[in-house]
Amino acid sequence: MKEFDPNDIANVNNNIFGLPYNTEDAKIVIIPVPWDVTVSYGNGTSLAPDNIFKASAQVDLYDDFFPDFWKKGIAMEEVPLQWLERNNELRRIAEDYIDFLANGGDVEKSVEMRNILFKINEASEFLHKWVERQAAGYLNKDKIVAVLGGEHSCPLGLIKALANKYDNFGILHIDAHSDLRNAYEGFTYSHASVMYNVLQIPEVSKLVQIGIRDYCEDELNTINNSNGRVKTYFDRALKESAYEGKLWKTLTENIIDDLPDNIYISFDVDGLDPKYCPNTGTPVPGGMEFEEIMYLLKKIVLEGKKIIGFDICETGYSESTEWDANVAARILYRLSVFTAKSNKL
């Protein structure tokens, strides 16, 4: 630390953002989860943790909201190659299974497809239990834990670990999709089912969604029948409010009023306008501006809410550009800043 110069070129041989911390001395620990087995459109999000790690060297450490944040320590575990290898193995057969469904196949009539589905559901459950154990170990050491996906199913284990620590907390869900489908395509832990699974956790008292613009009727029914447990700020409604003169400041105040004191933030990058992360797995036109979200997060902290953990998921990959990882690295740093500030580190 005495020799570290935050103004110098980042050395990624240290850790993420070039910082001289490891998971033992850092206040914030990132668990990378290289998993995209259940994605239903574009592949590549399993590569995101490694790509974001590399891109993090381009992020300047000074932040005007918390200038000395980097001194608090943030570190990322090594990407678990055993899970990346398992992901690659299962993704190949998942594609066969998804193609089978898309062509009108009946899984109940195919032993091969039932076996594929069983393998994927079983492996996904093992993965989420692994994430939960990893997260619990750090939480027991009073660390703040984040998950870096991978597809959006990746943080479920972290959320379950937090439920063992907190009796009551809310989730701020930034996404293009509601992710409230029950076992989408037969996958119990589908990327499109993460918030459905989260709602099975009693300690999650509130789910506040923003940027949603792609959803099915069943998901809408889940929202409308939740007795207020789920509050969704649809992208179109937010845009129309702005067009009619409502300030983003006022809209953020409404969003914050719906959140409890303890908040977990689940950030799917496709919640943003696709210009930011065009290679995300399931891009949708519309979406939030980068600074709109940063303003919301800042206001959450200023209102005295506590961010107890977070995830960033669905960052895509392209051989022609590192743009998606670059954007996600900056989201990661800013979200870490806001989390640290809210915890008065």
Q: How many CB atoms lie within 10 A of CB 326?
A: 19
pLDDT at 133 over 80: yes
| Band of residue 2 on the pLDDT scale cut at 50, 70, 90 | confident
What does residue 330 show for φ and ψ, rounded to 5 degrees?
-75, -35
Which secondary-structure segment (H or E) carries 147? strand 144-149
pLDDT at res. 164: 98
Provide the CB-side half-sphere exposure for 330 (13 A, CA): 16
Pick 40 or 19 by higher pLDDT: 19
- Buried b vs exposed e over 128-150: b needs ≥16 C-beta within 10 Å? bebbbebbbebbeeebbbbbbbb
Domains and CATH numbers, the chain: 16-342 (3.40.800.10)
Query: Tokens standing for 64?
Result: 């005007």
pLDDT at res. 135: 98
Q: pLDDT, tens digit, for every residue of 213-255?
A: 999 999 999 999 999 999 999 999 999 999 999 999 999 999 9
Identify the CA nearest to 262 among candidates 305, 301, 297: 305
pLDDT at 208 over 80: yes
Mean pLDDT, to the nearest integer, of 4-19?
Answer: 87
Q: pLDDT, tens digit, for every residue of 303-333?
A: 999 999 999 999 999 888 899 999 999 999 9
Answer whether 314's CB lies under 8 Å from 282's CB. yes
Q: pLDDT, tens digit, for every residue of 261-287?
A: 999 999 999 999 999 999 999 999 999
Q: What share of the chain is helix, strand, coil (3-state, %, to 5)?
A: 45, 15, 40
What 3-state DSSP class applies to 309? strand
pTM beyond 0.85, yes or no: yes
pLDDT at res. 284: 96
